[in-house]
Chain A
């Protein structure tokens, strides 16, 4: 979803600093995600007034307030629906939807599935910490079986969702996983997700240092293995991606699982937008067209 708008000056990371500093706990994985987004935007040199960061509700969903782009801090679980409407009304904008695992896979699960099958041209970054943080530590849709939380003090007995598998099944055209502890790799994945013309899903392991004592940086670091390091892995192969998505345990794949470029993005499939973004259209229906509408009724 690259945009081509004239630039007046070089965009720097300083330009992207928000009006307030993040209020996340010291050590939170979300700092790494914010920094990677800022770096990716600088490397792509997308003017910040043409970028919209849209989130739902939760710790990670506070992100739009911490970055100097247009932002929308919407309702719990609804950011993808808002982002879809916004993208369709002005498809020249670069839309980043950000949020957490509870927001995206729990309360927003329905929108997640349908936004993927529609191939809306936006990048959806989930800061996945496998816990509800802002409500002080309850089980989330990605919490592992056995994990003890305030809402399941004797251990979780419900199987977690597998976001990568779900995204592949729902028809997402770009599916990747990052780790907040690997900035360089994460920045690269964000760049690829922005450039991809269609729905890009990026699940990021973003440890919660306060409430999740199971899935910590230390737990992840020896387990994550980049798919890019395996020369035989072909991200165009959907079946191979499905297989890789099932890996969990001693080895957990990160990187780009899957990308296909042969499916048009939703806005590109709709002839109403042939003449450019909706926001630039004349709001009036031409009077001869309107007369035709009335004549149908006579």
Chain B
């Protein structure tokens, strides 16, 4: 088993859970350790219960894992909820003045800190947090200098006195642990790797900037708001127009308006906002103006659980907007992929002049991952397809002989279904686009004149783009041994946890492989059937109630899986959920496993 180490910090919202989490993440990533962080929280600004898990290790860490090695409860509630999760070798550092431990399992080290003796708690309200960080890092075998440096950065804006005080408190915790607590068995190593730590929302925003997005607009909605925050904070440096709009209907229409003028345009929302955008997606497809829309899924239906994750919007997205139209739908596989996918998506939608939809979820949007900075590549190929921009700066919009004679047709019939797209401001290419059905020159065939022959031809022109899109997107591949006893299919954000479940199964002597779907439309159904042809036992793993992907795969390919593992309690899968479910299904006990989430958050 690979070496990993997980810290869980819990408390009420407003008690300062985030700062120690950020500092631990910084220290780990600077040691060249991979890390994954997940914050379980509620829709409340002060109070409630928050549990932040930071898992790290020298090899790639892709999910929250199964085990907590160090628990830091900032209040009694956290101690009462989570001490029972600790197993032999784990430790719990807590404020002995205010928190009483319960009964811990054998081999769990209880580490009480006499906080009022070690720090002046009248001056420093979060002294217990800082002491616990110091103590924890000592027990992990990490030198004090790393913490000192991180604290200096954290508090430098508040002045030297505050820095000195926090460093002093941290030092007291560090030294107290050295004298009173047992260190962890396997100290965390250093590696030569370097990581950037970021959330999926930041990754998608940066991916947008790298793709050349010039217009971003949104209405705040958890868990997508982080995209807006990064865009707004970096707009001026990146040269992006960022607007907060009155509602998501306004968002999609404003984004399409900007795209229509010739810039790359993007917006993000969650399921409720996406529902409001549906009609706009149809417009994007009908007028053939590309736009990229991100849906960060949260637990539905309706307002649902705004701070919890789910993969429940697949069918909403498949059914969004009425009528048939070409579009691209993809689900990023991890936080690094949140960055990588956006430029790929823009190149596709610019070439095929249709909407591109990104199906993310809270787990990626708000989770954090250590990513190799090389994977945040701003040196991207920007393929804008058959776009004609106004002549000025970067424009190519000179008039040619055909256009000068009035021969430009915005919706010209072509074999590919793609027609040259001139934007307003280009001379001799004047046309009107319409959400009504239209002819090659844009004139309506919906109101005064209808014409079944022309309507059919224009439908077929648009839908010819589907074949081109399919040819431009790679089919999925199978990871792991070809003749495995079990094949696990997932889509989007479950990549990391299924991968780890497969590793555990393989270590246990049960061979497992994985098919992870990134491109949902086009799906490449034939290629998937070919991959599954020899599969011995196929189980589909997804974070929703009804098996939305299983139903989609069946509708596209007639493929019926042998079993299903589903979770719809708002929390993500842990590796052992999948491992245990696979075992019970191979034992013939059930075809549908719904693992119980044992962490009460």
Contacts and interface: CB of A to CB of B under 8 A. Distances in A.
Given A89-B263, A92-B425, A294-B196, A81 B431 contact: no
B571 to A, nearest CB: 26
A84 B257 contact: yes
Interface in A189-227: none
A269 B394 CA distance: 24
Interface in B91-105: none
Q: Which 4 A-B pairs have the closest CB atoms?
A: A85-B257, A283-B212, A71-B432, A280-B393
A254 interface: no
B418 to A, nearest CB: 20
Given A89-B262, A278-B263, A294-B373, 18 more contacts: A48-B430, A57-B435, A62-B447, A71-B442, A72-B433, A73-B433, A74-B283, A75-B253, A78-B250, A81-B249, A81-B251, A89-B215, A276-B392, A278-B241, A281-B214, A283-B382, A284-B382, A290-B209
B594 interface: no
A183 to B, nearest CB: 24
B85 to A, nearest CB: 30
A290 B382 CA distance: 16
A289 B195 CA distance: 18
B538 interface: no
A248 interface: no
B268 interface: no
Given A48-B430, A71-B433, A293-B209, A88 B215 contact: yes
Interface in B155-175: none
Contacts of B238: 285, 289, 293
Interface residues on B, range: 35 or more
A67 B260 CA distance: 19
A146 B564 CA distance: 61
11 contacts: A70-B424, A71-B431, A72-B287, A73-B434, A78-B280, A81-B251, A84-B254, A93-B261, A275-B239, A280-B392, A285-B239
A298 B250 contact: no
A280 B196 contact: no
B541 interface: no
Given A73-B434, A81-B253, A279-B263, A272 B235 contact: yes
B22 to A, nearest CB: 11
Contacts of B349: none
A62 B265 CA distance: 26
Contacts of A161: none
Contacts of B212: 283-285
**Size range of the chain A interface in the assembly:** 35 or more
Interface in A265-292: 270-273, 275-285, 287, 289-290, 292
Nearest to B198: A297
A45 B235 CA distance: 36
Given A49-B425, A73-B432, A73-B433, A276 B393 contact: yes
Contacts of A292: 237
A65 B443 contact: yes
Interface centre among A85, A88, A90, A285 (most CB of B within 10 A): A85
Contacts, number: 224
Interface string A151-173: 00000000000000000000000
A93 B428 CA distance: 15
A244 interface: no
Contacts of A273: 241
Interface in B373-404: 373, 376, 378-380, 382, 389-390, 392-395
A289 B443 contact: no
B436 interface: yes
A138 interface: no
Contacts of B433: 71-73
A64 B183 CA distance: 75
B259 interface: yes
Interface string B272-316: 000000011001000100000000000000000000000000000
A114 B250 CA distance: 10
Nearest to B399: A49
Nearest to B196: A297
Given A285-B210, A293-B206, A75 B279 contact: yes
A100 interface: no
B257 A86 contact: yes
A111 to B, nearest CB: 6
A90 B262 contact: yes
Given A74-B435, A90-B425, A279 B235 contact: no
A279 B423 contact: yes
B426 interface: yes
Contacts of A57: 435
Contacts of A69: 430
B373 to A, nearest CB: 5
B394 to A, nearest CB: 6
B304 to A, nearest CB: 24
Contacts of B389: 279
B260 A88 contact: no
Contacts of A54: 257
B202 interface: yes
A49 B253 contact: no
A110 interface: yes
A83 interface: yes
B256 A82 contact: yes
A99 to B, nearest CB: 13
Interface in B438-490: 441-444, 447-448
B234 interface: yes
B7 interface: no
Contacts of A71: 431-434, 442
Contacts of B435: 57, 73-75
Nearest to B447: A23
A251 B275 CA distance: 46
Given A65-B432, A73-B432, A89 B214 contact: yes
A166 to B, nearest CB: 15
Contact of B250 (A23, A49, A81, A293): A81
A294 B376 contact: yes
A68 interface: yes
Nearest to A107: B249
Contacts of B263: 89, 278-279, 281, 283
Contacts of B209: 285, 290, 293
A231 interface: no
A20 interface: yes
A271 B235 CA distance: 10
